Amino acid sequence: MKKDFWAGVFPAITTKFTPDEKLDLAACNEGIEAQLEAGVNGIVIGGSLGEASTLSEEEKFILLTETVKTVAGRVPVIFSIAEQATYVAVNHAKKAEELGASGLMLLPPLRYYASADETVAFFGAVAESTALPIMIYNNPVDYKIHVTLDMFGELDKYENIVAVKESTRDISNVTRMLNRFGNRYKVFTGVDPLALESIVAGADGWIAGLVDAFPKETVAIFRLVKEGRVNEAVAINRWFMPLLDLDIHPKLVQYIKLAEVATGTGTEHVRAPRLKLVGEERERIQKVINDALAVRPELPAGSWGL
Protein backbone atom coordinates (compact mmCIF):
# COMPACT_ATOMS: atom_id res chain seq x y z
CA MET A 1 0.00 0.00 0.00
CA LYS A 2 1.39 3.40 -0.92
CA LYS A 3 2.40 5.60 2.00
CA ASP A 4 0.67 8.77 0.76
CA PHE A 5 -2.89 7.49 0.80
CA TRP A 6 -4.65 10.53 2.25
CA ALA A 7 -7.20 11.26 -0.46
CA GLY A 8 -10.72 10.20 -1.36
CA VAL A 9 -13.71 8.99 0.63
CA PHE A 10 -13.01 7.46 4.04
CA PRO A 11 -16.18 6.16 5.77
CA ALA A 12 -16.43 6.66 9.52
CA ILE A 13 -17.74 3.17 10.12
CA THR A 14 -20.55 2.49 12.59
CA THR A 15 -19.89 -0.26 15.11
CA LYS A 16 -22.45 -3.02 14.76
CA PHE A 17 -23.90 -4.63 17.88
CA THR A 18 -26.14 -7.58 18.60
CA PRO A 19 -29.51 -6.94 20.34
CA ASP A 20 -27.79 -7.59 23.69
CA GLU A 21 -25.05 -5.00 22.93
CA LYS A 22 -22.25 -7.41 22.07
CA LEU A 23 -19.95 -6.68 19.14
CA ASP A 24 -21.45 -8.08 15.93
CA LEU A 25 -18.29 -8.68 13.94
CA ALA A 26 -20.08 -10.44 11.09
CA ALA A 27 -22.30 -7.39 10.54
CA CYS A 28 -19.25 -5.11 10.82
CA ASN A 29 -17.51 -7.07 8.08
CA GLU A 30 -20.57 -7.01 5.83
CA GLY A 31 -20.77 -3.24 6.18
CA ILE A 32 -17.09 -2.84 5.33
CA GLU A 33 -17.47 -5.00 2.23
CA ALA A 34 -20.32 -2.77 1.02
CA GLN A 35 -18.03 0.23 1.36
CA LEU A 36 -15.18 -1.43 -0.49
CA GLU A 37 -17.50 -2.52 -3.29
CA ALA A 38 -18.53 1.11 -3.78
CA GLY A 39 -14.91 2.17 -4.17
CA VAL A 40 -14.07 3.98 -0.95
CA ASN A 41 -10.43 4.88 -0.38
CA GLY A 42 -10.03 4.12 3.32
CA ILE A 43 -11.83 2.92 6.44
CA VAL A 44 -11.99 4.82 9.76
CA ILE A 45 -12.94 2.81 12.84
CA GLY A 46 -13.54 3.67 16.48
CA GLY A 47 -14.70 7.23 15.95
CA SER A 48 -17.69 9.11 17.35
CA LEU A 49 -19.98 7.47 14.82
CA GLY A 50 -18.45 4.16 15.84
CA GLU A 51 -19.65 4.74 19.44
CA ALA A 52 -16.06 4.70 20.65
CA SER A 53 -17.02 6.24 23.99
CA THR A 54 -18.95 3.06 24.84
CA LEU A 55 -16.28 0.61 23.73
CA SER A 56 -13.76 -0.96 26.06
CA GLU A 57 -10.09 -0.82 25.19
CA GLU A 58 -10.19 -4.54 24.42
CA GLU A 59 -13.16 -4.09 22.07
CA LYS A 60 -11.43 -1.28 20.18
CA PHE A 61 -8.47 -3.50 19.46
CA ILE A 62 -10.69 -6.46 18.55
CA LEU A 63 -12.40 -4.20 16.01
CA LEU A 64 -9.06 -3.05 14.65
CA THR A 65 -7.72 -6.60 14.34
CA GLU A 66 -10.88 -7.81 12.61
CA THR A 67 -11.04 -4.81 10.27
CA VAL A 68 -7.41 -5.16 9.22
CA LYS A 69 -8.07 -8.83 8.49
CA THR A 70 -11.23 -8.09 6.50
CA VAL A 71 -9.79 -5.22 4.50
CA ALA A 72 -6.68 -7.28 3.73
CA GLY A 73 -4.67 -4.37 2.40
CA ARG A 74 -7.25 -3.17 -0.12
CA VAL A 75 -7.43 0.29 1.49
CA PRO A 76 -5.83 1.89 4.56
CA VAL A 77 -7.43 1.30 7.96
CA ILE A 78 -7.41 4.37 10.21
CA PHE A 79 -7.74 3.88 13.97
CA SER A 80 -9.36 6.72 15.92
CA ILE A 81 -7.87 7.84 19.23
CA ALA A 82 -10.06 9.94 21.53
CA GLU A 83 -8.65 9.86 25.05
CA GLN A 84 -8.32 12.00 28.15
CA ALA A 85 -4.77 11.13 29.23
CA THR A 86 -1.70 11.54 27.08
CA TYR A 87 -0.18 8.25 28.21
CA VAL A 88 -3.35 6.36 27.22
CA ALA A 89 -3.36 7.97 23.77
CA VAL A 90 0.33 7.08 23.38
CA ASN A 91 -0.30 3.46 24.40
CA HIS A 92 -3.20 3.20 21.97
CA ALA A 93 -1.05 4.56 19.15
CA LYS A 94 1.65 1.99 19.85
CA LYS A 95 -0.86 -0.85 20.05
CA ALA A 96 -2.62 0.22 16.86
CA GLU A 97 0.69 0.18 15.03
CA GLU A 98 1.42 -3.33 16.33
CA LEU A 99 -1.98 -4.55 15.15
CA GLY A 100 -1.55 -3.30 11.61
CA ALA A 101 -3.35 0.05 11.47
CA SER A 102 -2.33 2.15 8.48
CA GLY A 103 -2.79 5.46 10.27
CA LEU A 104 -4.41 7.29 13.16
CA MET A 105 -7.13 9.90 13.53
CA LEU A 106 -6.31 11.84 16.69
CA LEU A 107 -8.65 14.06 18.69
CA PRO A 108 -7.48 16.70 21.19
CA PRO A 109 -7.67 15.71 24.87
CA LEU A 110 -11.22 14.96 25.91
CA ARG A 111 -13.14 16.40 28.87
CA TYR A 112 -10.29 18.68 29.96
CA TYR A 113 -10.33 21.98 28.07
CA ALA A 114 -6.65 21.98 27.17
CA SER A 115 -4.87 25.21 26.27
CA ALA A 116 -3.17 25.63 22.89
CA ASP A 117 0.27 24.64 24.19
CA GLU A 118 -1.17 21.63 26.04
CA THR A 119 -3.01 20.49 22.93
CA VAL A 120 0.09 20.80 20.77
CA ALA A 121 2.12 18.89 23.38
CA PHE A 122 -0.53 16.16 23.46
CA PHE A 123 -0.43 15.75 19.68
CA GLY A 124 3.36 15.86 19.71
CA ALA A 125 3.67 13.13 22.34
CA VAL A 126 1.51 10.79 20.29
CA ALA A 127 3.36 11.63 17.08
CA GLU A 128 6.71 10.86 18.71
CA SER A 129 5.45 7.48 19.94
CA THR A 130 4.65 5.97 16.55
CA ALA A 131 5.74 5.85 12.94
CA LEU A 132 2.12 5.84 11.77
CA PRO A 133 0.83 8.86 9.84
CA ILE A 134 -1.64 10.94 11.84
CA MET A 135 -4.73 12.93 10.93
CA ILE A 136 -5.72 15.64 13.43
CA TYR A 137 -9.47 15.84 14.02
CA ASN A 138 -10.34 19.54 14.28
CA ASN A 139 -13.90 19.79 15.60
CA PRO A 140 -14.32 22.70 18.04
CA VAL A 141 -18.12 22.57 17.69
CA ASP A 142 -18.40 19.18 19.41
CA TYR A 143 -15.09 18.90 21.27
CA LYS A 144 -14.54 22.59 22.20
CA ILE A 145 -10.84 22.78 21.30
CA HIS A 146 -10.06 24.65 18.08
CA VAL A 147 -6.80 23.60 16.45
CA THR A 148 -5.84 26.92 14.89
CA LEU A 149 -3.64 27.61 11.89
CA ASP A 150 -0.88 28.76 14.25
CA MET A 151 -1.12 25.46 16.13
CA PHE A 152 -0.76 23.58 12.84
CA GLY A 153 2.29 25.74 12.24
CA GLU A 154 3.78 24.44 15.50
CA LEU A 155 2.89 20.86 14.54
CA ASP A 156 4.81 21.17 11.28
CA LYS A 157 7.93 19.73 12.91
CA TYR A 158 6.21 16.36 13.36
CA GLU A 159 6.59 14.78 9.95
CA ASN A 160 4.04 12.05 10.62
CA ILE A 161 1.25 14.54 11.35
CA VAL A 162 0.10 14.69 7.76
CA ALA A 163 -3.63 15.44 7.56
CA VAL A 164 -6.58 17.19 9.15
CA LYS A 165 -10.24 16.28 9.42
CA GLU A 166 -11.66 19.77 8.97
CA SER A 167 -14.90 19.95 10.97
CA THR A 168 -14.90 23.57 12.12
CA ARG A 169 -18.00 24.10 9.92
CA ASP A 170 -16.25 27.06 8.34
CA ILE A 171 -15.68 26.12 4.70
CA SER A 172 -13.20 28.97 4.31
CA ASN A 173 -10.88 27.07 6.66
CA VAL A 174 -10.16 24.65 3.81
CA THR A 175 -8.84 27.55 1.75
CA ARG A 176 -6.98 29.03 4.72
CA MET A 177 -5.18 25.72 5.37
CA LEU A 178 -4.24 25.35 1.70
CA ASN A 179 -3.12 28.97 1.41
CA ARG A 180 -0.88 28.79 4.45
CA PHE A 181 0.50 25.26 4.21
CA GLY A 182 0.11 24.22 0.57
CA ASN A 183 0.34 20.44 0.39
CA ARG A 184 1.94 20.06 3.83
CA TYR A 185 -1.32 18.77 5.31
CA LYS A 186 -3.94 16.78 3.42
CA VAL A 187 -7.31 18.39 4.15
CA PHE A 188 -10.39 16.21 4.60
CA THR A 189 -13.88 17.60 5.02
CA GLY A 190 -15.63 16.08 8.02
CA VAL A 191 -19.13 17.58 7.93
CA ASP A 192 -21.46 15.84 5.47
CA PRO A 193 -23.73 18.81 4.58
CA LEU A 194 -20.67 20.93 3.76
CA ALA A 195 -18.72 18.26 1.93
CA LEU A 196 -19.42 19.15 -1.68
CA GLU A 197 -18.51 22.81 -1.17
CA SER A 198 -15.36 21.81 0.72
CA ILE A 199 -14.27 19.46 -2.07
CA VAL A 200 -14.86 22.20 -4.64
CA ALA A 201 -12.68 24.45 -2.45
CA GLY A 202 -9.87 21.91 -2.73
CA ALA A 203 -10.31 19.37 0.07
CA ASP A 204 -8.33 16.20 -0.64
CA GLY A 205 -10.83 13.85 0.96
CA TRP A 206 -14.06 13.31 2.85
CA ILE A 207 -14.44 11.55 6.21
CA ALA A 208 -18.10 10.70 5.67
CA GLY A 209 -21.03 9.54 7.80
CA LEU A 210 -24.03 8.90 5.55
CA VAL A 211 -21.67 6.93 3.35
CA ASP A 212 -22.37 4.04 5.74
CA ALA A 213 -25.85 3.75 4.22
CA PHE A 214 -25.20 5.35 0.83
CA PRO A 215 -21.63 4.52 -0.22
CA LYS A 216 -22.05 4.76 -4.00
CA GLU A 217 -23.70 8.17 -3.87
CA THR A 218 -20.98 9.51 -1.56
CA VAL A 219 -18.14 8.20 -3.72
CA ALA A 220 -19.88 9.50 -6.84
CA ILE A 221 -20.14 13.06 -5.48
CA PHE A 222 -16.48 13.14 -4.51
CA ARG A 223 -15.17 11.72 -7.76
CA LEU A 224 -17.46 13.76 -9.98
CA VAL A 225 -16.18 16.97 -8.40
CA LYS A 226 -12.58 15.84 -8.80
CA GLU A 227 -13.28 14.99 -12.45
CA GLY A 228 -14.69 18.48 -13.05
CA ARG A 229 -18.25 17.19 -13.43
CA VAL A 230 -19.52 19.55 -10.76
CA ASN A 231 -23.06 19.96 -12.08
CA GLU A 232 -23.62 16.22 -11.92
CA ALA A 233 -22.27 16.17 -8.35
CA VAL A 234 -24.52 19.08 -7.39
CA ALA A 235 -27.61 17.25 -8.64
CA ILE A 236 -26.83 14.21 -6.49
CA ASN A 237 -25.96 16.41 -3.54
CA ARG A 238 -29.30 18.22 -3.69
CA TRP A 239 -31.10 14.89 -3.47
CA PHE A 240 -28.73 13.79 -0.68
CA MET A 241 -28.97 16.90 1.52
CA PRO A 242 -31.92 15.87 3.77
CA LEU A 243 -29.96 12.71 4.57
CA LEU A 244 -26.63 14.50 4.97
CA ASP A 245 -28.24 16.78 7.56
CA LEU A 246 -28.68 13.72 9.80
CA ASP A 247 -24.90 13.76 10.30
CA ILE A 248 -24.93 16.95 12.40
CA HIS A 249 -27.49 15.91 15.03
CA PRO A 250 -26.52 14.61 18.50
CA LYS A 251 -28.31 11.37 17.57
CA LEU A 252 -26.40 10.95 14.32
CA VAL A 253 -25.50 7.38 15.34
CA GLN A 254 -29.13 6.30 15.67
CA TYR A 255 -30.15 8.23 12.55
CA ILE A 256 -27.43 6.80 10.35
CA LYS A 257 -27.93 3.29 11.69
CA LEU A 258 -31.63 3.53 10.82
CA ALA A 259 -30.59 4.52 7.31
CA GLU A 260 -28.23 1.53 7.18
CA VAL A 261 -31.16 -0.76 7.95
CA ALA A 262 -33.15 0.79 5.10
CA THR A 263 -30.35 0.18 2.59
CA GLY A 264 -29.30 -3.22 3.92
CA THR A 265 -25.83 -2.13 5.01
CA GLY A 266 -26.17 -2.47 8.78
CA THR A 267 -28.30 -2.82 11.89
CA GLU A 268 -29.83 -0.25 14.23
CA HIS A 269 -28.64 -1.79 17.50
CA VAL A 270 -26.83 0.74 19.68
CA ARG A 271 -25.12 0.56 23.03
CA ALA A 272 -26.49 2.36 26.10
CA PRO A 273 -26.77 5.13 27.02
CA ARG A 274 -27.95 5.45 23.43
CA LEU A 275 -31.39 3.98 22.79
CA LYS A 276 -33.08 2.96 19.56
CA LEU A 277 -35.39 5.55 18.09
CA VAL A 278 -39.07 5.35 19.00
CA GLY A 279 -42.30 7.27 18.53
CA GLU A 280 -42.55 10.54 16.62
CA GLU A 281 -38.80 10.94 16.28
CA ARG A 282 -38.42 7.52 14.68
CA GLU A 283 -41.31 8.22 12.30
CA ARG A 284 -39.81 11.57 11.33
CA ILE A 285 -36.36 10.20 10.57
CA GLN A 286 -37.78 7.16 8.82
CA LYS A 287 -39.79 9.50 6.60
CA VAL A 288 -36.64 11.41 5.64
CA ILE A 289 -35.02 8.12 4.67
CA ASN A 290 -38.07 6.75 2.86
CA ASP A 291 -38.66 9.98 0.96
CA ALA A 292 -35.08 9.91 -0.27
CA LEU A 293 -35.22 6.26 -1.25
CA ALA A 294 -38.41 6.89 -3.23
CA VAL A 295 -36.56 9.26 -5.56
CA ARG A 296 -33.04 7.81 -5.30
CA PRO A 297 -31.22 9.02 -8.39
CA GLU A 298 -29.63 6.88 -11.03
CA LEU A 299 -25.93 7.61 -10.82
CA PRO A 300 -23.96 8.55 -13.92
CA ALA A 301 -21.46 6.02 -15.17
CA GLY A 302 -18.17 6.15 -13.35
CA SER A 303 -15.82 4.35 -11.01
CA TRP A 304 -18.05 4.15 -7.92
CA GLY A 305 -19.06 0.52 -7.86
CA LEU A 306 -21.13 0.75 -11.08
**Is residue 26 predicted with pLDDT exceeding 90?**
yes
**Is residue 37 predicted with pLDDT exceeding 70?**
yes
Q: Give me the residues paired with residue 134 across strands.
A: 104, 161
**Is residue 130 predicted with pLDDT exceeding 70?**
yes
Confidence (pLDDT) at 1: 43
Q: What is the mean pLDDT of residues 183-195?
A: 98
Angle between helices 25-38 and 215-226 (to 10 degrees): 30
Confidence (pLDDT) at 306: 52
**Is residue 44 predicted with pLDDT exceeding 70?**
yes
Q: What is the mean pLDDT of residues 195-224?
A: 98
pLDDT digits 0-9 by tens, 59-83? 999 999 999 999 999 999 999 999 9
Please report which confidence band the pLDDT of residue 160 belongs to, taking 50, 70 and 90 as the band edges.
Answer: very high
pTM greater than 0.85 (yes/no): yes
**Is residue 2 predicted with pLDDT exceeding 60?**
no
Confidence (pLDDT) at 3: 54
Distance from C-alpha of 190 to C-alpha of 193, rounded to nearest angstrom = 9
Domain boundaries, the chain: 8-294
**Is residue 223 predicted with pLDDT exceeding 70?**
yes
Q: What is the mean pLDDT of residues 288-297?
A: 98
Neighbouring residues of 255: CB distance < 8 A, sequence distance ≥ 6: 246, 249, 277, 285
Q: Give me the residues paired with residue 163 across strands.
A: 135, 186
Q: What is the mean pLDDT of residues 252-271?
A: 97
**Is residue 50 predicted with pLDDT exceeding 50?**
yes
pLDDT digits 0-9 by tens, 225-248? 999 999 999 999 999 999 999 999
pLDDT digits 0-9 by tens, 267-280? 999 999 999 999 99
Pairing of strands 103-106, 8-11: unpaired
**Is residue 305 predicted with pLDDT exceeding 70?**
no
Compute the C-alpha angle 86/90/93, nearest 5°.
Answer: 140
**Is residue 211 predicted with pLDDT exceeding 50?**
yes
As a CATH number, domain 8-294 is 3.20.20.70
| CB atoms closer than 10 angstroms to residue 26 | 11
**Is residue 172 predicted with pLDDT exceeding 60?**
yes
